[in-house]
Amino acid sequence: MCQLINNKKPSAGLSLALGKILVSLGAFLFSSTLSAQSASPLEVSQLIDEYRASREKVILQDFMELLSLPNIPDNQDDMDLNVDHITALLEARGFSARRLQAGGSPYIYAELMQPAASETLLLYAHYDGQPVQLENWAYPPFSPTLLDATLQAGGQPVDVEALTGSFDPEWRLYGRSAGDDKMPIIALLHTLDALAANDIELSVNLKILFDGEEERGSPTLGNIIDAYPGLLDADLMLFCDAPMHQSRNVQLVFGVRGVKTLNMTTYGANRPLHNGHYGNWAPNPFMQLAYLLTSMRDESGRILVEGYYDDVAPISDLERSAIAAIPDITESLKDELAINTPEGNGARIEELVMLPALNVRDMSGGSVGNAISSSATVALNLRLVANQKPETVEALIETHIAGQGFHIVYEDPTDDILRSNEKVIKLDWVGRGGLGIRTPMDGVMPQRLAQLLQSVIPELILTPSMGGGLPLEDFTTRMDMPIIVLPLANHDNNQHAENENIRLQNIWDAMSIYGVILANFGNR
Amino acid sequence: MCQLINNKKPSAGLSLALGKILVSLGAFLFSSTLSAQSASPLEVSQLIDEYRASREKVILQDFMELLSLPNIPDNQDDMDLNVDHITALLEARGFSARRLQAGGSPYIYAELMQPAASETLLLYAHYDGQPVQLENWAYPPFSPTLLDATLQAGGQPVDVEALTGSFDPEWRLYGRSAGDDKMPIIALLHTLDALAANDIELSVNLKILFDGEEERGSPTLGNIIDAYPGLLDADLMLFCDAPMHQSRNVQLVFGVRGVKTLNMTTYGANRPLHNGHYGNWAPNPFMQLAYLLTSMRDESGRILVEGYYDDVAPISDLERSAIAAIPDITESLKDELAINTPEGNGARIEELVMLPALNVRDMSGGSVGNAISSSATVALNLRLVANQKPETVEALIETHIAGQGFHIVYEDPTDDILRSNEKVIKLDWVGRGGLGIRTPMDGVMPQRLAQLLQSVIPELILTPSMGGGLPLEDFTTRMDMPIIVLPLANHDNNQHAENENIRLQNIWDAMSIYGVILANFGNR
């Protein structure tokens, strides 16, 4: 577990010393006490590390075997091979496993019930992957390849078969889904092996759900939950996806932003017009968009639509304290990204992503010639936060746009509509949009998890909300359990892109974290 | 000539009656008197019409022969064939012709001097054409094809060889350069034949310049003028290019707008950022452009850059009167183009194009994913008017942009530049830009020409300036002669695009106009 701490390898003594620091840090945010356990969290962490150190090659080979199964949901045969393979791995560990399907790709459900446990954990990961563009990959995406450094640093392939002993934890395993999101599957299974090898019992009932369509937005997840009532019920859900904090510190994330996509199109003449002959007379649709956008959002990012912040969940004192305790990465981020002055009037990014955002993603519609185009389109991504309802957001924005003098349509306007309205805008709301979600940080289960992990990871980061989205909505609207996101992949894992990879240390750390949670989270 | 009038065929009596209307209309704008002529303008016009009516097939065959010569400047052999062919046609009419070349495509110069003439006319047209995309043409662009109606109206090919007598003047001849700009060449040569056949002497020395690189912006025209000092000197230049007024009335145009192209790029982070994780914190380059654009131009099209209108040539009373006399096409244009409310606060388009314009042509730079892009670019076409200097415009705009808090660069900024400036903008001034030009409407030669043509075309439109540009700058900066643009092609000739065409009536009208000018313009 010691590798979790800033990637150094301090002695057990230092780990223990750091553990003491937690007492003050943890007490700052949480006040409950740890339950009695047969092996302390630090002991569990050390035992898992020792077990793993002797088995790295086997774990890696298991992982490579799983990664060699293509997992793009377009090919259902491939998905079935994944399901069969993972199911066999689960059953070999004593799980009772089922294939759940309700109109989409299959999900894998499995459980390992403990007669003595009073709490149930639901662990989520997904086994599907993003499509690949073969020509962009340095090594074939489904021929997992271990490199002795990152590609950018000139990493060269390592022959895993020929290796003995422990590996350099900075080595990287390249392959589709190495970071997003097959790693938690392998880490969990080998954690269970490690616990069994050390005769450590699980302190909780363990339920797992491995999603087969996450990269498509889990379109049938709601159907699954509805079709198997009670099956997924748990006291706490751990959503194991997404990359870790850039500082490499372990992080628990208590919320996500939702998203709503809006394309807006304004109109000039019904055909492109020579901007010499007509410039100053023909309406310019790009200028209409420019004025509209500046009426919707100020230069600091504040949304100017009336009532837009009315529903926004306020930031609690606990959440503000948590943000204040997170190492401030603003300056290093500004340097890395070459940004002089971020938006937000100096507020921290962790606070700014708890507010709704109106992001201009693209503007398009111009012509190659010297024309005033007949239309121009802006693509917006609206990021929503907890309590904001997509329907309300839609209504507020439409009221604002109408107030700017636009006649709103939802299909391409006819010439008659253009002739009879001073300004016309087509709104294309792409889908309903997803909710922003925040799990209260003061809940019993979230507090217990944070305190447990802080006992072995004093630098644990507690993040009230990430800025991006995750498919949590179907769980929160259909079920009643706190959800905490536990990211485990290195932040530079290239998820969704070519050359996706996992840093070996991140697998090892995941095992330690899982071990501590499984052995020590439950009240026994 | 009567066909010139709204495309009807009134009797000679009506023409004469309309001629009388001119007396009051013409006197409104012009006060000089016509010089004595051997044949009156109306007589000349009628004689040309009669001659042409008996020779339409020959004229058309001559034109088709010229149009069958490919004239894309990329192929110099093709251009040489055009030069040889046109030169032979000119020499057959007694011209002394020369090939002028100064680093680019050849120009054809020719002159027909008249011992008794005191004025010299320079007539400009161009024999080169725009590139063609063969697959888009209904008939091969260099196999000129006569149709019995427009393509849109279902026109079918007509076998010219099999025809006798006069043709329907609404028929269209399709082929590259039919409208832009070989027609004036053929019309002029057959006008000379018609004058000769009627023993009508030219009243002026006639110089012609046929440009071989107009579609490329006549890059070596300045060299040509410099290399042959005095050769092109004239009392008046007729620039025979561009389409006619949409009303089909003959039009003299006294000015053009210049153009200056500016691409502006703003910057966010040095790589695209996930707009969930970074939205509200990372600067959005599209929003920066939106704010900048709205600071540069109001919703009516008025440019807000300080001092921008200081150099703009004021609109004279004569010009205002001329505009007031032009048939107001605003309502029909709004209906045709499906525009409810044009820019310009209700001013007429003819007046608005005498003002500088800031046209947004395109905005681009977004990503396909959910990213805040690292840069965004807006493409502007600045239309300049007479007296505005491109250098001054450049300076004023840069001062304005700097005043909006931008650090200006002219190359892609380094990360260090981005880090050390709150807002960075890259300006790409594409070329120096072209001048706006206006020939004073009260000059002796312009007045004489307008009055002459009004004596046969009461509906003659006098337009102070067109909105677009033409390559007049090298003539105005290097020479001292008034330039008047005389458009002769139908407004729907599809210039620069596929299926370029000329309406037969436009050829016949061009001959009448040339005949009247050549026979009656000079003081003899």
Rounded alpha-carbon distances, angstroms, from residue B151 to A233, B136, B492, B500: 70, 13, 11, 10
10 Å CB burial of residue A477 (0-12, 13-18, 19+) is exposed
Q: Give yes or no for residue B22 having a pLDDT over 80.
A: no
Q: Which two tokens stand for residue A357?
A: 């955002």
- Which pLDDT band, with edges at 50, 70 and 90, does B433 fall under? confident
With contact defined as beta carbons under 8 Å apart, do A236 and A482 qualify?
Answer: yes
Give the integer Cα–Cα distance in Å for B339 and A230: 59
Residue keyed to tokens 């008034």: B482
- Which pLDDT band, with edges at 50, 70 and 90, does A523 fall under? confident
Residue keyed to tokens 């997404």: A242
Give the integer Cα–Cα distance in Å for B268 and B275: 12
Residue keyed to tokens 């003449």: A269
Give the range among B136-145, B332-341, B365-374 with minimum mean pLDDT. Answer: B365-374
**Closest Cα in chain B, distance from residue A374 (Å):** 10
Rounded alpha-carbon distances, angstroms, from residue B508 to A109, B4, B90: 84, 9, 19
**Closest Cα in chain A, distance from residue B65 (Å):** 31
Taken in order B9, B13, B14, B15, the sign of the CA dihedral is: positive
Give the integer Cα–Cα distance in Å for B276 and A328: 19
- Which pLDDT band, with edges at 50, 70 and 90, does B164 fall under? confident
**Closest Cα in chain B, distance from residue A300 (Å):** 8
Taken in order A50, A54, A60, A63, the sign of the CA dihedral is: negative
Residue contact B353–A286, C-beta within 8 A? no
Closest CA to B159 of B60, B79, B237: B60
Residue contact A277–B353, C-beta within 8 A? yes
Q: Which residues pair with A381 in a beta bridge?
A: A261, A359
* A215, A333, A358, A359, best to mutate vs chain B, most B CBs in 10 Å: A359
Rounded alpha-carbon distances, angstroms, from residue B129 to B175, B211, B212: 10, 10, 8
Residues in chain A closer than 8 A to B275 (CB atoms):
357, 359, 361, 381, 383
Question: How much is the average pLDDT of A342-365?
Answer: 97
With contact defined as beta carbons under 8 Å apart, do B172 and B150 qualify?
Answer: yes
Model confidence pLDDT, tens digit, residues A238-286 = 999 988 887 889 999 999 999 999 999 999 999 899 899 999 999 999 9
Per-residue confidence (pLDDT) for residue A187, from 0 to 100: 98
Per-residue confidence (pLDDT) for residue A297, from 0 to 100: 98
Q: Which CATH architecture describes the domain B2-254+437-520?
A: 3-Layer(aba) Sandwich (3.40)
**Closest Cα in chain B, distance from residue A13 (Å):** 37
Give the integer Cα–Cα distance in Å for A469 and A102: 23
Residues in chain B closer than 8 A to A130 (CB atoms):
none
**Closest Cα in chain B, distance from residue A15 (Å):** 32
ipTM of this model?
Answer: 0.86
Q: Which two tokens stand for residue B193?
A: 């034949």
- Which pLDDT band, with edges at 50, 70 and 90, does B368 fall under? low
With H, G, I as helix, E, B as strand and everything else as coil, classify residue B337: helix
* B281, B294, B382, B419, best to mutate vs chain A, most A CBs in 10 Å: B281
Q: Which residues contact B29 (CB under 8 A, 6 or more apart)?
A: B318, B321, B322, B325, B441, B447, B450, B462
Model confidence pLDDT, tens digit, residues A56-71 = 999 999 999 999 999 9
Q: Give yes or no for residue A353 having a pLDDT over 80.
A: yes
Strands (E), B276-405: 357-364, 371-372, 375-384
Q: In terms of residues, how long is chain A?
A: 524
With contact defined as beta carbons under 8 Å apart, do B252 and B462 qualify?
Answer: yes
Model confidence pLDDT, tens digit, residues A119-134 = 999 999 999 999 999 9
Q: Which two tokens stand for residue B170?
A: 């609404």
CA A471 to mean position of chain CA atoms: 8
What interhelical angle do A504-520 and A183-197 show, nearest 10?
50
Residues in chain B closer than 8 A to A420 (CB atoms):
340
Q: What average pLDDT does chain B have?
A: 91
Give the integer Cα–Cα distance in Å for B74 and A401: 50
Question: How much is the average pLDDT of A171-183?
Answer: 97
Q: Output Rg (C-alpha) for chain B, integer angstroms.
A: 25
Per-residue confidence (pLDDT) for residue A164, from 0 to 100: 86
CA A424 to mean position of chain CA atoms: 38
Q: What average pLDDT does chain A have?
A: 91
B218-224 long-range Cβ contacts below 8 angstroms, 24+ apart:
B218/B471, B218/B474, B219/B104, B220/B101, B220/B102, B220/B103, B220/B104, B220/B105, B221/B107, B221/B471, B221/B474, B221/B475, B222/B474, B222/B478, B223/B102, B223/B103, B223/B104, B224/B100, B224/B101, B224/B102, B224/B107
- Which pLDDT band, with edges at 50, 70 and 90, does A464 fall under? very high
CATH number of A25-255+437-520: 3.40.630.10
10 Å CB burial of residue B152 (0-12, 13-18, 19+) is exposed
**Percent of chain A at pLDDT exceeding 70:** 93
Question: How much is the average pLDDT of B31-51?
Answer: 75
Q: Give yes or no for residue B355 having a pLDDT over 50.
A: yes
What interhelical angle do B76-92 and B183-197 show, nearest 10?
10
Taken in order A280, A282, A286, A288, the sign of the CA dihedral is: positive
Give the integer Cα–Cα distance in Å for A211 and B192: 84
Residues in chain B closer than 8 A to A282 (CB atoms):
337, 339, 342-343
Per-residue confidence (pLDDT) for residue A21, from 0 to 100: 38
A224-227 long-range Cβ contacts below 8 angstroms, 24+ apart:
A224/A100, A224/A101, A224/A102, A224/A107, A225/A474, A225/A475, A225/A478, A225/A479, A226/A102, A226/A478, A227/A100, A227/A102
- Which pLDDT band, with edges at 50, 70 and 90, does A7 fall under? very low
Question: How much is the average pLDDT of B99-106?
Answer: 94
CA B201 to mean position of chain CA atoms: 30
* Ranges of each domain in chain A: 25-255+437-520, 258-312+355-430
Taken in order A225, A227, A229, A230, the sign of the CA dihedral is: negative
Q: Give yes or no for residue A24 having a pLDDT over 50.
A: no
Give the integer Cα–Cα distance in Å for A83 and A97: 10
Residue keyed to tokens 């089909």: B248
Residues in chain A closer than 8 A to B372 (CB atoms):
359-361
Question: How much is the average pLDDT of A466-491?
Answer: 94
Per-residue confidence (pLDDT) for residue B9, from 0 to 100: 36
Helices (H), B455-485: 473-478
Q: Which two tokens stand for residue A105?
A: 């790709």
Per-residue confidence (pLDDT) for residue A368, from 0 to 100: 65
Question: How much is the average pLDDT of A404-431?
Answer: 97
Residues in chain B closer than 8 A to A381 (CB atoms):
275-276, 279, 370
Q: What is the DSSP letter of A386?
A: B
* A361, A375, A417, A425, best to mutate vs chain B, most B CBs in 10 Å: A361
With contact defined as beta carbons under 8 Å apart, do B523 and B205 qualify?
Answer: no
- CB-nearest partner of A381 from B275, B349, B421: B275
Please give the residue of chain B at the shortest CA–CA distance from A256.
Answer: B276
Question: How much is the average pLDDT of A447-460?
Answer: 96
B319-323 long-range Cβ contacts below 8 angstroms, 24+ apart:
B319/B354, B319/B441, B319/B464, B320/B351, B321/B28, B321/B29, B322/B29, B322/B441, B322/B462, B322/B463, B322/B464, B323/B348, B323/B350, B323/B351, B323/B463, B323/B464
> Could you tell me what percentage of chain A is helix, strand and coil, using 3-state DSSP and rounding each to the nearest 5?
35, 20, 45
Residues in chain A closer than 8 A to B264 (CB atoms):
none
Question: How much is the average pLDDT of A349-369?
Answer: 92
Taken in order A452, A453, A458, A459, the sign of the CA dihedral is: negative
Question: How much is the average pLDDT of B134-142?
Answer: 95
- pTM of the full predicted structure? 0.85
Question: How much is the average pLDDT of B458-469?
Answer: 95
- Which pLDDT band, with edges at 50, 70 and 90, does A35 fall under? very low
Question: How much is the average pLDDT of A456-482?
Answer: 95
Per-residue confidence (pLDDT) for residue A112, from 0 to 100: 97
Would you say domain A258-312+355-430 falls under CATH 3.40.50.300? no
Pairing of strands A357-364, A461-463: unpaired
- Which pLDDT band, with edges at 50, 70 and 90, does B36 fall under? very low
Residue contact B364–A364, C-beta within 8 A? yes
Per-residue confidence (pLDDT) for residue A80, from 0 to 100: 97
With contact defined as beta carbons under 8 Å apart, do A115 and A200 qualify?
Answer: no
Q: Which two tokens stand for residue B520?
A: 């009656």
Q: Give yes or no for residue A471 having a pLDDT over 90.
A: no
Question: How much is the average pLDDT of A423-440?
Answer: 94
Give the integer Cα–Cα distance in Å for A207 and B407: 56
**Closest Cα in chain A, distance from residue B391 (Å):** 20
**Closest Cα in chain B, distance from residue A352 (Å):** 6
The H-or-E segment that residue A98 falls in is strand A96-100
- Which pLDDT band, with edges at 50, 70 and 90, does A433 fall under? confident
Q: What is the DSSP letter of A248?
A: -
Please give the residue of chain B at the shortest CA–CA distance from A379.
Answer: B366
Per-residue confidence (pLDDT) for residue A524, from 0 to 100: 58
**Percent of chain B at pLDDT exceeding 70:** 93
